[in-house]
Amino acid sequence: MQKLENKFKEVNERLNNDINFIIQAFINFYGTDNSEYIVDKIKDSRVIWYDESSDMNDNIYNHIISSLPKDELDRILKERKKEAFLQSVYIDEFDVLVLPLSYDLTKIIHEINHKIGSHIVSRKPLIQISGISYSVEKNGIIQYDNDLNEAINQKMTLEIIEELKKIGLKVEVMPSWQENLFPVIDSFYSAFKDNLKELNVSGNLLKFRESLGDEYFSQFSQLIFMCGFKARRTISKKEKVDFSDDKINAIDNLVLKMKEYHDSLLQNNGKKSYK
């Protein structure tokens, strides 16, 4: 426990020292018009820190530490399986970041960006929007477009880290599994990057999807789902993830159709935004 407490003091102090740099990097990425939203989302974030290096055992408190009151921490732990607190994640319904005591800034920025894109629509039943994905509570939590959202979030993470570097913060970028999906989401991200940033702030997912054409987006979503399934299976076998040119071309053609539909819709409505 002393080891955890020492690490806890170290990372807490480090995060306190870095937080204004982190906030500024997010503002640089999302734009000054969203400064107030960014500050409100990031400042005074609630964090549960987990130890990546410790050996697993039955007592979760040997692996996590937090400044949250113990009764609240106990309540949160009862709601989720302990595995949820042994990996980097943002838990929307509790507004809690679960971050590594190793202070892996790639993971920290990735999860903070999930917080930026998080919007709770309903608590009973629980309905959440996270960037371009959403989840509903139906005999458990069902997630839609999660792999797509993870890949987009990681692309944003890398760009925010570049902003951090420009400010002067030293960052060692660590690889992540989501990067295996970059070849199949690159064209989508490039075509709709500004809209995706806007979506993270607004949470207006339904309007955004409609602006792409429901049929086109459904086809695109299904293709990415299958690519995500393949990537996870390939990674589990410790093999290299590779997508055929035909698959990438099919996805790029759908992105082109969505872009044409989106631009035509904006032109006809005389608007520059889907808000």
CB 102 within 8 A of CB 13: no
Q: In this structure, what token pair is assigned to residue 230?
A: 């393949």
Express each pLDDT in 186-217 by its tens digit.
999 999 999 999 999 999 999 999 999 999 99
Residue ranges in the chain whose pLDDT is less than 70: 54-57, 270-275
Q: What is the pLDDT of residue 274?
A: 43
Q: What is the pLDDT of residues 28-48, one digit of tens each?
A: 999 999 999 999 999 999 999
The b/e string for 205-242 (b: 16+ C-beta within 10 A; e otherwise) is: beebbebbbeebbebbbebbeebbebbeeeeeeeeebe
pLDDT of residue 275: 44
- 88-105 per-position pLDDT tens digit: 999 999 999 999 999 999
Q: Return the pLDDT at 138.
A: 86
pLDDT at 56: 65
Give the span between the Cα atoms of 62 and 20, in whole angstroms. Answer: 31
**Non-local CB neighbours of 262 within 8 Å, separated by 6+ positions:** 192, 195, 211, 212, 213
In the prediction, which pLDDT does 268 show?
85
Rg (CA), the chain: 19
Q: What does pTM read for this prediction?
A: 0.94
